[in-house]
Amino acid sequence: MNIDEIKDKKIAVLLSGGVDSSVVVYEFARHGLHPDCFYIKIGPEEQEEWDCSSEEDLEMATAVARKYGCKLEVIDCHEEYWNEVTRYTMEKVRAGFTPNPDVMCNRLIKFGAFDEKMGHKYDLIATGHYAQTEIIGGKKWLVTSPDPVKDQTDFLAQIYDWQLKKALFPIGHYRKGEVREIAEREHLVNARRKDSQGICFLGKINYNDYIRRYLGENPGLVLEFETGKKIGTHKGLWFHTIGQRHGLGFGGGPWYVVKKDVTENTLYVSKGFEPRTAYKKDFPIHGFHFLTEPVNMTNVTFKIRHTPEYHRAYLEKTGDKSYIVHAGDFIQGVAPGQFCVVYDEAHHRCFGSAEITV
């Protein structure tokens, strides 16, 4: 964070009550800056049973803001979350796809609805994401964190260019361990708090409960992919994703989910250690969203899941925003609807992302 460049700017900090965004506030304070902090309400209704930790989050955020002499305000984006992120999630899931609500939360809520309600009054919006930015060729690019496990550039790979221009990631150059050390040294109330599991509030609730609540159950058959033999029944295709291995509960496995037939409401599974059907080397993506500007994607790296590993590939352009990903190795669990996030060869710069078509 170059203090000289930002010291005269109006900065809003998104303060969640977690350790990362709390250290963000500290990073400003140690340079004599006391930006306004905002806690966004994105969880479910207060009276609902799954909203157990929001109150504690807000208490933590309040304590941290007070410690550093910052103002804290609560911004209610609850309705926008359910109207936009939940609608997107349920539509995709119903169609048999594998959506990523956390990716959409960054675009539509943290840098979206928040900006509309409050952020537009500020020059910069700072978060505790593990991501960095760099000016290359006069343009602002999204760049990976030095902590490969915590890196969150994949979750930011759908934000609009104007959102990226406003984004500031003050702890993005640290590793998680360093952030925790700072928090302990500075006696932050949440220094030893457990990390949220997923991202956003979804980490706090069970994903299947979230889906069941909106779509209910829709039982159907589970068949062996190769033989068509009945293996069992499922409670709804939306509780399963391509590549899934765990939680199927059928004997004689291990079984992998290899196909979902939405018309027939049938789940296809395959046995064996590494079934070919569960792996893909070439797959199409559509609606490619470039974060900064279009680039040549002949030699790139990519990931389709929030894991520290990147795969090599070259992308063959097939249409306006469509490509075929030709991966260097076989990729397990390629599922339609998932985001394929694309980086440069050294997985330093994040170019953007697109949905897998298949």
Ligand X SMILES: Nc1ncnc2c1ncn2[C@@H]1O[C@H](COP(=O)(O)OP(=O)(O)OP(=O)(O)O)[C@@H](O)[C@H]1O
**Residue 116 binds ligand X, judged by CB under 6 A:** no
**Residue 19 binds ligand X, judged by CB under 6 A:** yes
The residue range among 15-23, 65-73, 317-325, 350-358 that interacts with ligand X, by the rule CB under 6 A, is 15-23
Which secondary structure element, helix H or strand E, spans residue 302, and what is its range? strand 300-303
Q: Quick one: tokens of 283?
A: 């797959």
**Residue 44 binds ligand X, judged by CB under 6 A:** no
Nearest to 291 by CA among 339, 342, 345, 355: 342
Calpha distance 40→57 (Å, rounded): 10
**Residue 40 binds ligand X, judged by CB under 6 A:** yes
Calpha distance 278→255 (Å, rounded): 11
> Could you tell me whether strands 266-271 and 220-224 are parallel, antiparallel, or unpaired per DSSP bridges?
parallel
105 is catalytic: yes
Q: How many other β-carbons are positioned within 10 Å of the β-carbon of residue 324?
A: 15
70 is catalytic: no
**Residue 110 binds ligand X, judged by CB under 6 A:** yes
Residues 198-227 that bind ligand X (CB under 6 A): 199-200
Using the rule CB under 6 A, which residue among 6, 11, 18, 302 binds ligand X?
18
**Residue 16 binds ligand X, judged by CB under 6 A:** yes
CB 351 within 8 A of CB 321: no
**Residue 39 binds ligand X, judged by CB under 6 A:** yes
The residue range among 84-92, 125-133, 219-227, 301-309 that interacts with ligand X, by the rule CB under 6 A, is 125-133
Name the one residue in this structure whose structure tokens are 């697109």. 354
Using the rule CB under 6 A, which residue among 96, 128, 236, 333 binds ligand X?
128
**Residue 42 binds ligand X, judged by CB under 6 A:** yes
CB of 82 to ligand X, least distance (A): 14
Using the rule CB under 6 A, which residue among 195, 282, 293, 329 binds ligand X?
195
Q: List alpha helices for the chain, DSSP H.
A: 3-6, 19-29, 54-67, 78-80, 87-94, 101-105, 114-117, 153-156, 161-166, 176-185, 207-215
Using the rule CB under 6 A, which residue among 6, 21, 182, 239 binds ligand X?
21
Distance, C-alpha 166 to centroid of its chain: 19
The residue range among 122-130, 234-242, 271-279, 325-333 that interacts with ligand X, by the rule CB under 6 A, is 122-130
**Residue 11 binds ligand X, judged by CB under 6 A:** no
Rg of the chain taking only CA atoms, in angstroms: 21
Residue 12 pairs in a beta bridge with 36, 125
CB of 343 to ligand X, least distance (A): 19
Closer CB to ligand X, 62 or 357, in the complex: 62
Of residues 37, 77, 200, 350, which has the active-site annotation?
200
**Residue 127 binds ligand X, judged by CB under 6 A:** yes
Phi, psi angle pair for 143, to nearest 5°: -130, 145
| DSSP helix/strand/coil, 102 | helix
| Residue 30, amino acid | R
Nearest to 245 by CA among 309, 332, 307, 305: 332
Closer CB to ligand X, 16 or 241, in the complex: 16
**Residue 124 binds ligand X, judged by CB under 6 A:** no
CB of 110 to ligand X, least distance (A): 6
- In a 10 Å sphere around its CB, with 0-12 CB exposed, 13-18 middle and 19+ buried, how is residue 46 labelled? exposed
**Residues that bind ligand X in the complex, under the rule CB under 6 A:** 14-16, 18-21, 38-40, 42, 110, 127-129, 195-196, 199-200
**Residues carrying an active site annotation:** 105, 200
